[in-house]
Amino acid sequence: MRTDALKAGGAGRSLSLDGPLWRRLARWGSLYGPEWFVRFSPPFIGLVVCLLAGAPRRQIRDTLRLVRGPRGHWRDAMDVLRTFSTYASCLAETLSADSGDRRLPEVVVHGEEHLDRALAGGRGLVIVTAHTAGWEAAGSCLRRRRGVPVMIVEEPEADAVAAMIQDAARGAYGVVVTHVGRDPLSALPLVRHLRGGGIVALQLDRVRRGMSTVPVKMFGSPALVPEGPARLCMLTGAAMVPAFASRVGFRRYEVDVGVPILLSRTAVAADVAVAAQRAADALERFVRAHPTQWFHFRGG
């Protein structure tokens, strides 16, 4: 997603917030630390990262102000810190999932009837989500409860080592992570997965340079969301369902599932625009209700 307020910032490369250093440390502590360490240390680590990572910290501050308006320096600072702390907790819980003595998170799903309706046709399901707290847990829940294979789609990460660390842990959730780049052929596995009745989850808030996008309005400003989810639905006949996860406690998450968005194989540009706006509206509603659970550390 892009808006004028979110173009600045960047990923904080000087600290490499999305690099292998932090993920190696988090994975080591999550796998080998005692349960109390996994539970109580991430908020402190999140505080340290928040203080050191200037660009991501400013990005989160600007995002919060866009979502809920300015609340004063102290309130803004506390909400920025809360965002970093929640992110650190989610990362630790994700990276500890493949440890033999760790339990998978508990997930409560609101709106399961929408999933049942969307899956009833046997044409697969496209979930549009965002980089919020615990969305890997949401995929795991779908995999366990319905026995439907789940594929999480992400753009290739800047650091291959960091991606390997994260993806290996996600495998413990029973989901498959696919990195789709600019090559059109890289999307073929997604089409095959959907035609086999599987679930594909894509993020609305990740728009990279050169990606096909659809203009929408979010938080009162023009924005862009990926066109890919709509195109996948048109190619396969799968329904599109907005679903966003939030962290409510230690290894505890909730998922809010929205009403299915349907697109025919003969949909035109106007139909795609309507579907994209409905998905963007669902994301906006969720983020307004959970502003510190949106990990929008970089513009675009």
Residue 38: closest CA among 89, 105, 83, 84:
89
Helices then strands, each counted (H, E), the chain: 10, 9
Q: What pLDDT, on a 0 to 100 scale, did the predictor assign at position 130?
A: 92
Instruction: Evaluate if residue 4 carries a pLDDT over 70.
Output: no
Q: Classify 109 as helix, strand or coil.
A: strand
Q: What pLDDT, on a 0 to 100 scale, did the predictor assign at position 98?
A: 58
Q: What pLDDT, on a 0 to 100 scale, did the predictor assign at position 262?
A: 94
pLDDT single digits (tens) 221-260: 999 999 999 999 999 999 999 999 999 999 899 999 999 9
Q: What pLDDT, on a 0 to 100 scale, did the predictor assign at position 176?
A: 76
pLDDT single digits (tens) 147-185: 788 888 877 665 555 556 566 666 666 677 777 766 555
pLDDT single digits (tens) 208-222: 777 889 999 999 999
Alpha-carbon separation of residue 9 from 12, 15, 136, 193 (angstroms):
8, 13, 26, 35
Q: What pLDDT, on a 0 to 100 scale, did the predictor assign at position 164?
A: 63
pLDDT single digits (tens) 48-105: 889 988 889 999 999 999 999 989 999 999 999 999 999 989 888 877 765 555 567 8
Sign of the alpha-carbon dihedral angle for 155, 156, 159, 164: positive
Q: What pLDDT, on a 0 to 100 scale, did the predictor assign at position 144?
A: 66
pLDDT single digits (tens) 11-45: 344 345 555 566 666 666 666 778 888 888 889 98
For the chain, give the number of residues: 300
Q: What pLDDT, on a 0 to 100 scale, did the predictor assign at position 171?
A: 62
Q: What pLDDT, on a 0 to 100 scale, did the predictor assign at position 162?
A: 55
Q: What is the pTM of this model?
A: 0.84
**pLDDT higher for 210 or 285?**
285
User: Which residue type does 275 have?
Assistant: A
Residue 82: closest CA among 102, 107, 110, 60:
60
Q: Which residues of 161-195 are buried (b: 16+ CB within 10 A; e: fewer)?
A: ebbebbbebbebbbbbbeebeeeeeebeebbebbe
Q: What pLDDT, on a 0 to 100 scale, did the predictor assign at position 138?
A: 66
Instruction: Evaluate if residue 9 carries a pLDDT over 50.
Output: no
